[in-house]
Amino acid sequence: MAVIGIDLGSLNSVMATIQRGTVSVVTTELSDRVTPSLVGFTDDQRLLGDHALAQMKSNAKNTCRYFRNVLGEIYDPSSSHLKKEFDLSLQNMTPLPPNNIMGYRVHYRGQEMEISAERVAAAFLTKLRQVAESSLQKAVSEVVIACPPWFRDANRSALLDAAQIAGLKCLRVISDMAATCLDYGMYRRQHFAADRPHIVAFVGVGHSCASACIAAFWADRMRILAEVSDPELGGRDMDYEIVRHFATAFENKTKLNPLASLKARLKLEDQANKAKKILSANSETSFHVECLMEDEDCSGLLTRDAFEELCAQRLVPRLEALLQAALDKSGLKKEDLMSVEIVGGGTRIPWVQRCITNTYGLELSRTLAADETVARGCALQAAMASSSFKVKEYGFGERTLHPICLTWAEGEQPVAVQPLSSSGHPLQDSAEVAGGVETIQGQAPSGEPCILIPAGSDTNTIRKITFLRNGPFTLKAQYADLPAGSPAAQLDACHVSLTPAAEPQEIQIFVHLNYCGLLRFARVCVKQKREEEEVVQKDAATSASSPAGAEGAAAAEAEKMRQTEVRRVVRTVKIDVPYQVQEAPSRPTTLQLRDFREDELNMDNEDRMTRDKMDKLNELESYLYTLRDDIDDRLREFAAADERDRIQAQLEATQTWLDDVFCDTKSVAKSAVVTKLEELHEMGDRVTRRFEEFNQRKEAEQLLHTAVSESRLAAQSHDEAYAHIPTEEKRKVMEMADETEAWLSEMMAKQNGMALYLDPILTVKEMHKKRDALMRFSHKVFATPKPKPAPPQEPAGSQQDVDMSAGEEKAGGEQSDAAPPQGGESEAAQHPPQPAA
C-alpha cells in the first residue's frame, strides 16, 4: 500500500510518494513529472490529463480547465474572482441548479450533460490514482492534497468530496505554503535550535495564485506565523497582459477581435506563455501566430522592458501588497527574516524576483524544488498521518486564514467560551489554541452578537461554548470577513433539539476546527444534577481478628455491613442532546455523494472498455499496414498467387471497415474488432510461419548435425573417461545417431523439392525435438559414473607364521588368534590402555 501527496494545480499537477525512506516524484506513463489538470469529454469516452491536452484545441468546448479554482463555489455576480474564471474558461463554465454551484456544460456520449466541478476534479483524481498505481506497482488509497491558501470551508469540503467520489481516503487537506514549509523544515531540523526560532519567508507564484508565508522553525516543530494569498495574481495573469497587448495590436490592424474567438484566444495563450518563459532568460523575443483569424497573421517583437511595463500597472502593486501583508500579519520586521525561499514557476520571472528582494531586503534562496516542493511536503504529511508509516515526530499545524463568527438567533449570550485541545481537555492557555489571539465575543457582519474565531487560529482545536437555554435554539457559523448575504459566507448551522423546560439548562456545544481547517459541530450535551446513592465507609478501623470457618465468614460480612452506610449525593453529569447539522448550501448530501461515486465508477469502467477497444483498433490497423507491406515484399515468395489475392482482398475489406469505424468508434463493439484481427492473423500467420521456417531451418539443421557428430565421437572414443561404458550401450548411441542423420537427410531432400509457398513437411520444431532426444540419450549413457573399486583383501599368512604363532601362544599364554596389524605393532601397542580414573 502506498501513500501519495498531490499538488493539485490549476495548470499542472504533481504527485510524490515515500519509497524506502525517501521522497520521490511519481512519473507519468509518458515519463513526465507533471500531469496537465484537464478533463475532456467526447462522444465515447473521457479524456484525462495528457490525452485531454492533445485534443484541447479541437475539443475546447468539451474540455474542463481551471476546475480547481471553482471547487465548492456558488455563483455570485459580485465576485471578481468568479467573473475572471468565467472569462478565462473555455466558454463552458456555468452555475448549476438548484444551488447555483459552479460546474460545466459539456457533450458526453451524444448528450448534453451538466457536471459539477467536484465531479470533474474526482475524474482527474481517478486519473492521478491510476498513474500512481501504474508507476509504483502498488495500490493507492491514502492521499494528502494541497490547496491554495485562500480556499475556504466550502472549497476544502468540495476537495474532500472529490477525493471521496474518486475512491481515495484523503487524510488531510493542507495549503500549498504549509506543504512547502514542511518540506523545508523536515530535512533541516538538525540546523535549527531548540529554544530559538529560525524565521523564514516563503513566496510562491503559481499559475493562478500567488502566496506568501512567514514561518518559524525549531528543532522539533514549526509554526506558521502569517499566510496570505491572492487568487487573482499568477502566471496566467502575466500571460494575459501579453495576450491583450497583441490582441489590441491585431485588432487595430485587421479590425478583427481575436479574443472573441475561442480558437484564436487559445493560440494567443500558447504563444504568450512561450514568450513569457523566453523573456525570463532573454531580453527580447519574437511573437508570431500564423493564420490567427481569417488567414491574418499576428506577429511582433516583445522586449523584457515592454513586458515589465505591461505588468507594472496592475500586477506589481498586487505582489508588493501581498508581500507586505504577510510581514504585517506576522508582527515582524524584515530585519527579523533570516532567509527568503521562492517556489513556483512564476518566481523565475526577473521582475517578480526583484520585487521580492526589494520588499524583504534579502537575497533569494532557491534550495527547494520550485515545481515539486508542494507535492513533496504533501507526501511527508501523508506518511505522518498514515498508520502504515513511522515518521520521526515533527510538530506541524496550519492556521486559519479567515475569521469565523458563530451567531445565535435569540436568547441570552453564552455564559462561557472555553478553548480545548483536540483531545477535549481544557487548556491552561487559550492563546496556545487560538494562535496567539483569544476567542472573543463580537459582532457579526449582520449586526448580531457573535463568538469570533479570529484568523490565525490553529487547526485541530475544539472550543466548548456554554449556553443557558430552556428550549430549542440554533447556532450558525459564517465568515466574518464576507457580507452577511454572500453565498460564500455561509457555513454549517447546528439546531439543538432541546426539550422545553421551566428552568434554563446549561448547554455545551463543542465546535471542532479539524486538521483540514473545517469547522464542524462535534457534540452537544446538557449538564444536569442527579441525586444518586453511594456506599461509603463509616470508619477505617477494622477488627483485629476474625473467627475461622463458615461462622467466621458470616461474622466478617456482618461486621463489614456495620462499617458502611448508604448516602445520597448530588452529581453533575453530561447527557448528549440530539442535534441536527444543516450543512452549507454548497455541500452535496450523503445520498448525492453515493450517486456521484456510482456514476464515477460507471464512467471509469466505460473509459476502460473504450481504451481497450481503441487499443485493439490500433493493433488491427498496425497489423493491417504491416501485412500489406510484407505480402508484397518479404512474404511474396511464400504465398501462392491466389493466396496473395485473397489476403489483399481481405486487407482492402478490413481497411474499408476500419475507415467506417474510425468515423464512429462508439458504434462498434470490441468483440467485432477482435474478430477482424483474428481473421487477418489466420491468413497472415500461415504465410509468416513459412517465412520463419525457411529462415530458421538451416540453423536448426546445423544444430542437429552437430549433435549427431558429437554423439558419434563420444561413442567411438577410446578415452579412459568412457572406458567403463559397455560396448552395447555405445553401439545404441551409434545406431540412434545414424537413424537421426538418415531421417534428416530424407526429410531435407523432400523439403528442398517443395515450393516455398507450400506448408513445410519438415519443421524447425521437429528438428529441435530430434536433437533433444539424441542429446538426452547420449548424456544418459556417457554420464554413467565409473564403478567403485573393490576394497583390498588381506594376504593369507604362511605356514611358518602359523606355527610360530602357535608356539608363542603356548609359551606366552593368552594371545590373539588373528595376525598382528601391518607395521609390526601389536593391537595393544596401537591402542595402549588408558590410565585408571
Over residues 705-717, the pLDDT tens digits come to 999 999 999 888 8
Question: What does the alpha-carbon distance between residue 803 and residue 304 come to, in Å, rounded to a whole number?
Answer: 127
CA distance 745 to 738: 11
Nearest-angstrom CA–CA distance, 237 and 779:
80
Set of cell numbers at residue 389: 508509516
Q: Do the domains at 2-233+319-385 and 404-538+560-582 have one common CATH topology?
A: no
Lookup: cell for 326 = 504577510
User: What average pLDDT score do residues 260-283 get?
Assistant: 95
Q: Which of 544-558, 620-634, 786-800 has the highest mean pLDDT?
A: 620-634
What is the SS3 assignment for 574-599? EEECCEEEECCCCCCCHHHHHHHHHH
pLDDT at 470 over 90: no
The residue-averaged pLDDT of 14-28 equals 93
More confident residue, 434 or 682: 682
SS3 category, 227: strand
Task: Report the pLDDT value the prediction gives residue 497, as an integer from 0 to 100.
Answer: 86
Cα angle at 53 between 32 and 4, to 5 degrees? 45
Distance between CA atoms of 78 and 76, rounded to whole angstroms?
5
How far does the chain reach from its first CA to its final CA, in angstroms? 69
CA 377 to each of CA 15, 22, 178, 396, 397: distance values in angstroms, whole numbers, following the listed order:
10, 12, 8, 11, 13
Range 189-218 average pLDDT: 95
Chain segment 55-111, per-residue pLDDT in tens: 999 999 999 999 999 999 999 888 888 999 988 988 899 999 888 999 999 999 989
How far apart (Å, rounded) are the C-alpha atoms in residues 14 and 650?
47
Q: Which helix (H) or strand (E) holds 483?
A: none
Q: What is the 3-state secondary structure (H, E, C) of 230-281?
A: ECCCCHHHHHHHHHHHHHHHHHHHHCCCHHHCHHHHHHHHHHHHHHHHHHCC
Give yes or no for residue 831 having a pLDDT over 80. Answer: no
pLDDT at 823: 42
Share of the chain above pLDDT 90, in %: 67
| Average pLDDT rounded to a whole number, residues 623-632 | 93
Q: What are phi and psi of 428, to 5 degrees?
A: -70, -35
Structure confidence at residue 818 (pLDDT):
41
Residue 434: pLDDT band with limits 50, 70, 90 = very low
The pLDDT tens digits for 790-809 are 777 766 555 545 454 444 44
Give residue limits of the domains in the chain.
2-233+319-385, 404-538+560-582, 596-783
Residue 806: the pLDDT is 45
Quote the pLDDT of residue 558. Answer: 67
Domain 404-538+560-582 fold is Substrate Binding Domain Of DNAk; Chain A, domain 1 (2.60.34)
The number of beta carbons lying within 10 Å of the beta carbon of residue 389 is 15
Q: How many CB atoms lie within 10 A of CB 743?
A: 15
Its sign, for the CA torsion 117, 123, 126, 128, is negative
Q: What is the pLDDT of residue 416?
A: 57
Element (H, E) at 445: none
Q: Would you tell me how many other CB atoms lie within 10 Å of the CB of residue 776?
A: 10
Whole-number Å distance between alpha carbons of 717 and 761: 35
Q: Of the given ranges (427-431, 440-444, 628-632), which has the lowest mean pLDDT?
A: 427-431
Q: Residue 324: is its pLDDT beyond 90? A: yes
Q: How many Å separate Cα 707 from the centre of its chain?
A: 56
Helix/strand/coil (H, E, C) string of 106-140?
EEECCEEEEEEHHHHHHHHHHHHHHHHHHHHCCCE
Using CA atoms, how far apart are residues 303 and 286, in angstroms rounded to an integer?
A: 9
- pLDDT per position as a tens digit, 408-424: 865 555 655 665 544 33
* 817 pLDDT more than 90: no
User: Cα angle vertex 96, ends 90, 98, to 5°?
Assistant: 170
> Rounded to the nearest 10 degrees, how much is the dihedral formed by the CA atoms of 458, 462, 463, 467?
160
Give the confidence band of 725 by pLDDT, cuts at 50, 70, 90: confident
Eight-state DSSP code of residue 20: T
pLDDT band with cut points at 50, 70 and 90 for residue 433 = very low
Q: Are 258 and 247 in contact (CB under 8 A)?
A: yes
Q: How confident is the model at residue 810 (pLDDT cuts 50, 70, 90)?
A: very low
pLDDT, tens digit (0-9, with 9 covering 90-100), for 106-138 = 999 989 999 999 999 999 999 999 999 999 999
Q: Inform me whether the pLDDT recorded for 15 exceeds 50.
A: yes
Question: What is the rounded distance in angstroms from the CA atom of residue 213 to the CA atom of residue 196?
Answer: 19
SS (H, E, C) 631-692: HCCCCHHHCCHHHHHHHHHHHHHHHHHHHHHHHCHHHCCHHHHHHHHHHHHHHHHHHHHHHH
At 665 the pLDDT is 82
Peptide bond into 472 cis (omega under 30): no
Q: Quote the pLDDT of residue 252.
A: 94
pLDDT in tens, 525-538: 988 877 777 777 76
- Pairing relation of β-strands 101-108 and 93-96? antiparallel
* Nearest CA among 216, 178, 214 for reference residue 196: 216
Please tell me the distance from the alpha carbon of residue 19 to that of residue 23, in angstroms, as a whole number: 6
pLDDT at 528: 80
pLDDT computed for residue 549 by the predictor: 55
Q: How does residue 429 score in pLDDT terms, banded at 50, 70 and 90?
A: very low
- Those residues whose C-beta lies under 8 Å from the C-beta of residue 426, and which sit 6 or more positions away, are 418, 419, 420
The closest of 9, 28, 323, 349 to 179, measured between CA atoms, is 9
Whether the Cβ atoms of residue 38 and residue 64 lie closer than 8 Å to each other = yes
pTM (2 decimals)? Answer: 0.82
Which of 441-455, 552-566, 567-581, 761-775 bottoms out in mean pLDDT, i.e. has the lowest? 552-566
- Cell digits of residue 79: 465576485
Distances in Å between the Cα of 566 and the Cα atoms of 46, 183, 377, 558, 561 are: 75, 62, 61, 15, 10
H or E stretch covering 808: helix 799-812
Supply the pLDDT for residue 393.
85
Tell me the pLDDT tens digit for each residue of 741-769. Answer: 999 999 999 999 999 999 999 999 999 99
Side-chain half-sphere of 16: how many Cα atoms within 13 Å?
27
Mean of pLDDT values over 379-394: 91
> SS3 for 630?
helix
Evaluate the CA torsion angle 477, 480, 484, 485 in order and state its sign.
negative
Report the percentage of the chain scoring pLDDT > 70: 87
Q: Give the C-alpha separation, 309 to 319, whole Å.
A: 15
* Helical (H) or strand (E) element with 737: helix 727-752
* Half-sphere exposure in the Cβ direction for 222 (13 Å, CA): 30
Asked whether 372 and 14 are in contact (CB, 8 A), the reply is yes
> Counting beta carbons within 10 angstroms of the beta carbon of residue 54, is it exposed (0 to 12), middle (13 to 18) or buried (19 or more)?
middle
Beta strands (DSSP E) in 480-544 are 490-496, 505-513, 519-537
Contact 150, 578 (CB under 8 A): no
User: Which residues make Cβ contacts (< 8 Å) with residue 699, sequence separation at least 6?
Assistant: none
SS3 assignment for 314-378: CHHHHHHHHHHHHHHHHCCCHHHCCEEEEECHHHHCHHHHHHHHHHHCCCEECCCCCCCHHHHHH
Handedness of CA 288, 292, 294, 295 (dihedral sign): positive
CATH 3.30.420.40 fits 2-233+319-385, yes or no: yes
109 vs 96: CA distance, rounded Å:
20
Cell numbers for 429, please give them: 492557555
pLDDT at 289 (0 to 100): 94
pLDDT value, residue 547: 53
Q: At residue 508, does pLDDT exceed 70?
A: yes
Any idea which of 37-41, 598-602, 780-784 has the lowest mean pLDDT? 780-784
